[in-house]
Structure 1
Protein backbone atom coordinates (compact mmCIF):
# COMPACT_ATOMS: atom_id res chain seq x y z
CA UNK A 1 0.00 0.00 0.00
CA UNK A 2 1.09 3.54 -0.76
CA UNK A 3 -0.65 6.64 0.55
CA UNK A 4 0.11 9.75 -1.50
CA UNK A 5 -0.82 12.88 0.45
CA UNK A 6 -0.90 16.19 -1.40
CA UNK A 7 -0.86 19.26 0.83
CA UNK A 8 -2.85 22.41 0.18
CA UNK A 9 -5.76 24.54 1.32
CA UNK A 10 -9.35 23.52 0.51
CA UNK A 11 -11.72 25.73 -1.46
CA UNK A 12 -11.80 27.46 -4.84
CA UNK A 13 -10.11 30.54 -3.36
CA UNK A 14 -6.85 28.61 -3.04
CA UNK A 15 -7.18 26.26 -6.02
CA UNK A 16 -4.51 27.89 -8.21
CA UNK A 17 -2.18 29.22 -5.51
CA UNK A 18 1.45 28.19 -5.23
CA UNK A 19 0.77 26.66 -1.81
CA UNK A 20 -1.59 24.15 -3.44
CA UNK A 21 1.06 22.44 -5.56
CA UNK A 22 0.52 19.26 -3.52
CA UNK A 23 -3.20 19.21 -4.31
CA UNK A 24 -2.40 19.82 -7.98
CA UNK A 25 0.00 16.88 -7.93
CA UNK A 26 -2.52 14.33 -6.64
CA UNK A 27 -5.22 15.74 -8.94
CA UNK A 28 -2.94 15.20 -11.95
CA UNK A 29 -1.98 11.77 -10.65
CA UNK A 30 -5.66 10.83 -10.50
CA UNK A 31 -5.99 11.78 -14.19
CA UNK A 32 -2.96 9.79 -15.31
CA UNK A 33 -4.02 6.87 -17.53
CA UNK A 34 -1.26 4.76 -15.98
CA UNK A 35 -3.24 4.48 -12.74
CA UNK A 36 -6.75 5.71 -13.55
CA UNK A 37 -9.48 3.30 -14.69
CA UNK A 38 -9.80 2.89 -18.46
CA UNK A 39 -11.32 5.98 -20.13
CA UNK A 40 -11.97 7.79 -16.86
CA UNK A 41 -10.27 9.67 -14.04
CA UNK A 42 -10.16 8.63 -10.42
CA UNK A 43 -12.70 10.62 -8.43
CA UNK A 44 -12.12 12.03 -4.96
CA UNK A 45 -14.81 11.56 -2.33
CA UNK A 46 -15.09 13.55 0.87
CA UNK A 47 -14.57 11.45 3.99
CA UNK A 48 -15.73 13.70 6.82
CA UNK A 49 -14.43 11.36 9.49
CA UNK A 50 -10.92 11.49 8.02
CA UNK A 51 -11.20 15.21 7.18
CA UNK A 52 -9.93 14.43 3.67
CA UNK A 53 -10.88 13.88 0.06
CA UNK A 54 -9.76 10.41 -0.95
CA UNK A 55 -9.41 8.38 -4.16
CA UNK A 56 -7.98 4.89 -4.47
CA UNK A 57 -6.86 2.44 -7.12
CA UNK A 58 -4.52 -0.51 -7.63
CA UNK A 59 -1.26 -0.43 -9.60
CA UNK A 60 0.80 -3.60 -10.19
CA UNK A 61 -1.10 -5.30 -7.39
CA UNK A 62 -0.43 -2.50 -4.89
CA UNK A 63 -3.22 -0.40 -3.39
CA UNK A 64 -2.70 3.31 -4.06
CA UNK A 65 -4.57 5.86 -1.93
CA UNK A 66 -4.58 9.54 -2.92
CA UNK A 67 -5.36 12.02 -0.16
CA UNK A 68 -6.16 15.75 -0.07
CA UNK A 69 -6.60 16.90 3.56
CA UNK A 70 -9.62 19.15 4.09
CA UNK A 71 -7.97 20.75 7.07
CA UNK A 72 -6.05 23.89 6.22
CA UNK A 73 -2.37 23.59 5.40
CA UNK A 74 -0.93 24.42 8.81
CA UNK A 75 -2.88 21.64 10.56
CA UNK A 76 -2.46 18.98 7.86
CA UNK A 77 -1.11 16.54 10.44
CA UNK A 78 -4.54 16.11 12.01
CA UNK A 79 -5.93 14.63 8.80
CA UNK A 80 -2.77 12.70 7.98
CA UNK A 81 -2.62 10.95 11.35
CA UNK A 82 -6.29 10.00 11.03
CA UNK A 83 -5.78 8.55 7.55
CA UNK A 84 -2.82 6.46 8.67
CA UNK A 85 -4.75 5.10 11.65
CA UNK A 86 -7.81 4.27 9.54
CA UNK A 87 -5.82 2.32 6.94
CA UNK A 88 -3.52 0.80 9.58
CA UNK A 89 -0.64 2.14 7.50
CA UNK A 90 3.05 2.16 8.32
CA UNK A 91 5.09 5.34 8.04
CA UNK A 92 6.93 3.66 5.16
CA UNK A 93 3.63 3.62 3.22
CA UNK A 94 3.42 7.42 3.18
CA UNK A 95 4.60 9.90 0.55
CA UNK A 96 3.82 13.58 1.21
CA UNK A 97 3.81 16.05 -1.70
CA UNK A 98 4.07 19.78 -1.09
CA UNK A 99 5.27 23.14 -2.40
CA UNK A 100 8.78 24.34 -1.63
CA UNK A 101 9.79 27.97 -2.01
CA UNK A 102 13.45 27.01 -1.71
CA UNK A 103 13.27 25.17 -5.05
CA UNK A 104 12.99 26.83 -8.43
CA UNK A 105 9.78 26.53 -10.41
CA UNK A 106 10.32 23.63 -12.81
CA UNK A 107 12.18 21.52 -10.27
CA UNK A 108 11.09 18.76 -7.89
CA UNK A 109 13.03 16.72 -5.35
CA UNK A 110 12.30 13.27 -3.97
CA UNK A 111 13.53 12.62 -0.42
CA UNK A 112 13.26 9.65 1.90
CA UNK A 113 13.00 11.75 5.08
CA UNK A 114 14.10 15.06 6.56
CA UNK A 115 13.11 18.17 8.44
CA UNK A 116 10.25 20.48 7.50
CA UNK A 117 12.68 23.26 6.45
CA UNK A 118 10.15 25.75 7.79
CA UNK A 119 7.11 24.39 5.92
CA UNK A 120 4.33 24.63 8.51
CA UNK A 121 2.15 21.94 6.98
CA UNK A 122 5.01 19.45 6.96
CA UNK A 123 6.04 20.44 10.47
CA UNK A 124 2.52 19.78 11.72
CA UNK A 125 2.64 16.31 10.17
CA UNK A 126 5.97 15.66 11.89
CA UNK A 127 4.50 16.86 15.19
CA UNK A 128 1.37 14.72 14.85
CA UNK A 129 3.19 11.56 13.74
CA UNK A 130 6.17 12.02 16.05
CA UNK A 131 8.66 11.37 13.25
CA UNK A 132 10.13 12.95 10.13
CA UNK A 133 11.01 9.56 8.64
CA UNK A 134 8.48 9.69 5.81
CA UNK A 135 9.10 10.07 2.09
CA UNK A 136 8.25 13.33 0.40
CA UNK A 137 8.21 15.07 -2.97
CA UNK A 138 9.00 18.78 -2.86
CA UNK A 139 7.63 20.82 -5.77
CA UNK A 140 9.51 24.04 -6.53
CA UNK A 141 7.48 27.26 -6.68
CA UNK A 142 10.22 29.91 -6.66
CA UNK A 143 9.18 31.85 -9.74
CA UNK A 144 8.64 35.33 -11.07
CA UNK A 145 9.17 37.17 -7.79
CA UNK A 146 12.75 35.93 -7.71
CA UNK A 147 13.72 36.50 -11.34
CA UNK A 148 16.10 39.35 -10.49
CA UNK A 149 18.83 36.71 -10.36
CA UNK A 150 19.47 37.27 -6.67
CA UNK A 151 18.06 34.60 -4.41
CA UNK A 152 16.86 36.29 -1.21
CA UNK A 153 18.35 35.23 2.09
CA UNK A 154 16.19 33.81 4.90
CA UNK A 155 16.11 37.32 6.38
CA UNK A 156 14.82 38.88 3.15
CA UNK A 157 11.98 41.38 3.46
CA UNK A 158 10.01 39.49 0.78
CA UNK A 159 6.75 38.31 2.35
CA UNK A 160 6.88 34.62 1.49
CA UNK A 161 3.67 33.89 3.41
CA UNK A 162 1.77 36.13 0.98
CA UNK A 163 3.72 34.86 -2.02
CA UNK A 164 2.69 31.23 -1.52
CA UNK A 165 -0.98 32.23 -1.31
CA UNK A 166 -0.91 34.13 -4.61
CA UNK A 167 -2.23 32.52 -7.77
CA UNK A 168 0.32 31.15 -10.20
CA UNK A 169 0.73 33.39 -13.24
CA UNK A 170 -0.21 32.37 -16.78
CA UNK A 171 3.48 31.78 -17.43
CA UNK A 172 4.08 29.80 -14.24
CA UNK A 173 1.15 27.37 -14.37
CA UNK A 174 2.27 25.46 -17.50
CA UNK A 175 5.76 25.06 -16.02
CA UNK A 176 4.34 23.69 -12.78
CA UNK A 177 2.06 21.32 -14.69
CA UNK A 178 4.98 19.99 -16.71
CA UNK A 179 7.16 19.27 -13.68
CA UNK A 180 4.19 17.64 -11.93
CA UNK A 181 3.64 15.41 -14.97
CA UNK A 182 7.31 14.45 -15.05
CA UNK A 183 7.41 13.80 -11.30
CA UNK A 184 4.21 11.76 -11.49
CA UNK A 185 5.75 9.47 -14.08
CA UNK A 186 8.75 8.92 -11.83
CA UNK A 187 6.46 8.11 -8.89
CA UNK A 188 4.20 5.77 -10.89
CA UNK A 189 7.24 3.81 -12.02
CA UNK A 190 7.96 3.12 -8.34
CA UNK A 191 4.51 1.68 -7.52
CA UNK A 192 4.36 -2.07 -7.06
CA UNK A 193 8.11 -2.55 -7.13
CA UNK A 194 10.21 -4.03 -4.36
CA UNK A 195 12.91 -1.36 -4.25
CA UNK A 196 12.48 1.40 -1.70
CA UNK A 197 11.61 5.01 -2.43
CA UNK A 198 14.84 6.78 -3.28
CA UNK A 199 16.02 10.37 -3.39
CA UNK A 200 16.23 12.09 -6.74
CA UNK A 201 15.80 15.32 -8.66
CA UNK A 202 13.40 16.17 -11.49
CA UNK A 203 14.23 19.19 -13.65
CA UNK A 204 12.73 20.50 -16.85
CA UNK A 205 15.07 21.01 -19.76
CA UNK A 206 13.59 24.42 -20.45
Structure 2
Protein backbone atom coordinates (compact mmCIF):
# COMPACT_ATOMS: atom_id res chain seq x y z
CA UNK A 1 0.00 0.00 0.00
CA UNK A 2 1.24 3.50 -0.78
CA UNK A 3 0.36 6.78 0.90
CA UNK A 4 0.99 9.65 -1.54
CA UNK A 5 0.65 13.40 -1.05
CA UNK A 6 -1.32 14.82 -4.02
CA UNK A 7 -0.33 18.34 -5.02
CA UNK A 8 -3.91 19.54 -5.64
CA UNK A 9 -5.74 17.59 -2.95
CA UNK A 10 -6.61 19.22 0.39
CA UNK A 11 -3.51 19.77 2.47
CA UNK A 12 -1.93 16.76 4.18
CA UNK A 13 -4.56 14.24 3.07
CA UNK A 14 -3.01 11.29 1.24
CA UNK A 15 -4.07 9.33 -1.74
CA UNK A 16 -4.49 5.69 -0.75
CA UNK A 17 -3.65 2.96 -3.24
CA UNK A 18 -3.92 -0.79 -2.88
CA UNK A 19 -6.17 -3.81 -3.29
CA UNK A 20 -7.16 -2.61 -6.76
CA UNK A 21 -8.42 0.73 -5.40
CA UNK A 22 -7.49 4.40 -5.64
CA UNK A 23 -8.84 6.66 -2.88
CA UNK A 24 -8.59 10.44 -2.57
CA UNK A 25 -10.55 13.38 -1.18
CA UNK A 26 -13.51 14.47 -3.33
CA UNK A 27 -13.12 17.58 -5.48
CA UNK A 28 -15.60 19.74 -7.39
CA UNK A 29 -14.84 17.96 -10.68
CA UNK A 30 -16.32 14.76 -9.18
CA UNK A 31 -19.83 16.19 -9.09
CA UNK A 32 -21.22 14.61 -12.26
CA UNK A 33 -19.93 11.12 -11.47
CA UNK A 34 -21.10 11.37 -7.85
CA UNK A 35 -24.60 12.59 -8.75
CA UNK A 36 -25.02 9.93 -11.43
CA UNK A 37 -23.90 7.09 -9.17
CA UNK A 38 -25.98 8.25 -6.21
CA UNK A 39 -29.08 8.66 -8.39
CA UNK A 40 -28.60 5.20 -9.88
CA UNK A 41 -28.16 3.75 -6.38
CA UNK A 42 -30.93 5.65 -4.60
CA UNK A 43 -33.18 2.66 -3.84
CA UNK A 44 -30.12 0.68 -2.75
CA UNK A 45 -28.86 3.39 -0.37
CA UNK A 46 -31.87 5.14 1.16
CA UNK A 47 -32.91 2.33 3.56
CA UNK A 48 -29.54 2.79 5.29
CA UNK A 49 -29.10 6.58 5.19
CA UNK A 50 -30.71 9.70 6.66
CA UNK A 51 -33.65 10.94 4.61
CA UNK A 52 -32.37 12.64 1.48
CA UNK A 53 -32.97 16.38 1.15
CA UNK A 54 -34.98 17.64 -1.83
CA UNK A 55 -31.79 19.01 -3.39
CA UNK A 56 -29.65 16.05 -2.29
CA UNK A 57 -28.05 15.57 -5.70
CA UNK A 58 -27.80 19.22 -6.75
CA UNK A 59 -24.49 20.90 -7.53
CA UNK A 60 -25.09 23.32 -4.66
CA UNK A 61 -25.56 20.47 -2.20
CA UNK A 62 -22.36 18.88 -3.45
CA UNK A 63 -20.46 22.15 -2.95
CA UNK A 64 -21.77 22.37 0.62
CA UNK A 65 -20.67 18.80 1.20
CA UNK A 66 -17.16 19.60 -0.04
CA UNK A 67 -16.93 22.67 2.22
CA UNK A 68 -17.97 20.53 5.17
CA UNK A 69 -15.34 17.90 4.36
CA UNK A 70 -12.63 20.55 3.99
CA UNK A 71 -13.57 22.25 7.26
CA UNK A 72 -13.52 18.92 9.11
CA UNK A 73 -10.08 18.17 7.72
CA UNK A 74 -8.66 21.59 8.64
CA UNK A 75 -9.93 21.23 12.19
CA UNK A 76 -8.67 17.62 12.55
CA UNK A 77 -12.22 16.36 12.95
CA UNK A 78 -12.47 14.11 9.90
CA UNK A 79 -11.10 12.93 6.57
CA UNK A 80 -13.24 12.01 3.56
CA UNK A 81 -12.38 9.86 0.58
CA UNK A 82 -13.98 8.91 -2.70
CA UNK A 83 -13.25 5.35 -3.77
CA UNK A 84 -12.26 4.71 -7.39
CA UNK A 85 -11.05 1.74 -9.39
CA UNK A 86 -7.28 1.32 -9.45
CA UNK A 87 -6.96 3.62 -12.48
CA UNK A 88 -8.90 6.41 -10.79
CA UNK A 89 -11.36 6.49 -13.68
CA UNK A 90 -14.59 5.09 -12.18
CA UNK A 91 -16.21 6.23 -8.94
CA UNK A 92 -17.27 3.28 -6.78
CA UNK A 93 -18.38 4.88 -3.50
CA UNK A 94 -17.23 6.94 -0.54
CA UNK A 95 -15.78 6.53 2.95
CA UNK A 96 -15.40 9.03 5.78
CA UNK A 97 -13.38 9.07 8.97
CA UNK A 98 -15.37 11.43 11.20
CA UNK A 99 -15.80 12.58 14.79
CA UNK A 100 -12.05 12.36 15.45
CA UNK A 101 -11.41 12.72 19.17
CA UNK A 102 -7.90 13.40 20.40
CA UNK A 103 -6.60 13.66 23.96
CA UNK A 104 -7.02 10.49 26.00
CA UNK A 105 -9.43 8.96 23.44
CA UNK A 106 -7.65 9.01 20.04
CA UNK A 107 -10.69 7.53 18.29
CA UNK A 108 -12.90 8.16 15.27
CA UNK A 109 -15.96 6.78 13.51
CA UNK A 110 -16.09 5.46 9.96
CA UNK A 111 -19.01 5.49 7.56
CA UNK A 112 -19.24 4.36 3.96
CA UNK A 113 -21.45 3.83 0.92
CA UNK A 114 -21.02 1.84 -2.27
CA UNK A 115 -22.78 2.37 -5.59
CA UNK A 116 -25.24 -0.33 -6.60
CA UNK A 117 -23.25 -1.55 -9.65
CA UNK A 118 -20.23 -2.17 -7.41
CA UNK A 119 -21.88 -3.74 -4.36
CA UNK A 120 -20.95 -7.25 -3.28
CA UNK A 121 -17.59 -7.28 -5.09
CA UNK A 122 -15.28 -6.76 -2.10
CA UNK A 123 -14.44 -3.14 -2.85
CA UNK A 124 -15.67 -1.78 0.48
CA UNK A 125 -13.94 -4.50 2.48
CA UNK A 126 -10.67 -3.47 0.84
CA UNK A 127 -11.38 0.25 1.23
CA UNK A 128 -12.00 -0.13 4.97
CA UNK A 129 -8.72 -2.05 5.28
CA UNK A 130 -6.82 0.75 3.54
CA UNK A 131 -8.43 3.43 5.70
CA UNK A 132 -7.84 1.47 8.90
CA UNK A 133 -4.13 1.33 8.09
CA UNK A 134 -4.14 5.06 7.38
CA UNK A 135 -6.07 5.88 10.56
CA UNK A 136 -3.77 3.89 12.82
CA UNK A 137 -0.46 4.67 11.12
CA UNK A 138 -0.84 8.23 9.79
CA UNK A 139 -3.52 9.69 12.06
CA UNK A 140 -2.12 7.87 15.13
CA UNK A 141 -5.59 6.81 16.24
CA UNK A 142 -6.07 4.10 18.83
CA UNK A 143 -9.62 3.09 17.96
CA UNK A 144 -12.10 3.06 15.07
CA UNK A 145 -15.84 2.72 15.58
CA UNK A 146 -18.73 1.95 13.25
CA UNK A 147 -22.47 1.52 13.62
CA UNK A 148 -24.85 -0.21 11.24
CA UNK A 149 -28.44 -1.39 11.10
CA UNK A 150 -28.95 -4.99 12.27
CA UNK A 151 -30.45 -5.93 8.90
CA UNK A 152 -27.49 -4.54 6.93
CA UNK A 153 -25.71 -7.86 6.52
CA UNK A 154 -23.37 -6.50 3.86
CA UNK A 155 -22.05 -3.78 6.17
CA UNK A 156 -21.69 -6.21 9.07
CA UNK A 157 -19.65 -8.46 6.79
CA UNK A 158 -17.37 -5.59 5.77
CA UNK A 159 -16.63 -4.80 9.41
CA UNK A 160 -16.16 -8.39 10.55
CA UNK A 161 -13.84 -9.20 7.65
CA UNK A 162 -11.67 -6.29 8.81
CA UNK A 163 -11.47 -7.50 12.40
CA UNK A 164 -14.05 -5.17 13.95
CA UNK A 165 -15.69 -6.68 17.02
CA UNK A 166 -19.34 -6.23 17.91
CA UNK A 167 -19.51 -4.33 21.19
CA UNK A 168 -23.22 -3.89 21.72
CA UNK A 169 -26.47 -2.36 20.50
CA UNK A 170 -27.20 1.37 20.51
CA UNK A 171 -30.92 1.92 21.01
CA UNK A 172 -32.62 4.33 18.58
CA UNK A 173 -29.15 5.64 17.80
CA UNK A 174 -29.58 7.39 14.44
CA UNK A 175 -32.51 8.73 12.46
CA UNK A 176 -32.31 6.64 9.29
CA UNK A 177 -34.83 6.62 6.44
CA UNK A 178 -37.20 8.76 8.49
CA UNK A 179 -37.17 6.91 11.84
CA UNK A 180 -34.96 6.47 14.91
CA UNK A 181 -33.39 3.04 14.60
CA UNK A 182 -31.31 0.70 16.72
CA UNK A 183 -27.76 0.11 15.49
CA UNK A 184 -25.14 -2.52 16.12
CA UNK A 185 -21.92 -0.97 17.42
CA UNK A 186 -18.49 -2.23 16.33
CA UNK A 187 -14.96 -1.31 17.39
CA UNK A 188 -11.44 -1.95 16.14
CA UNK A 189 -8.29 -1.20 18.16
CA UNK A 190 -4.90 -0.45 16.67
CA UNK A 191 -3.50 -3.52 18.43
CA UNK A 192 -6.28 -5.87 17.35
CA UNK A 193 -5.40 -8.72 15.04
CA UNK A 194 -6.61 -7.98 11.53
CA UNK A 195 -6.73 -10.30 8.54
CA UNK A 196 -3.68 -10.19 6.31
CA UNK A 197 -4.62 -8.58 3.04
CA UNK A 198 -2.79 -8.09 -0.23
CA UNK A 199 -2.54 -4.32 -0.57
CA UNK A 200 -0.35 -4.06 -3.65
TM score, norm. by length of structure 1: 0.34
Structure with the higher fraction of residues in strand conformation? 2
Q: Which has the higher contact order (CA 8 A, sep 6+)?
A: 1
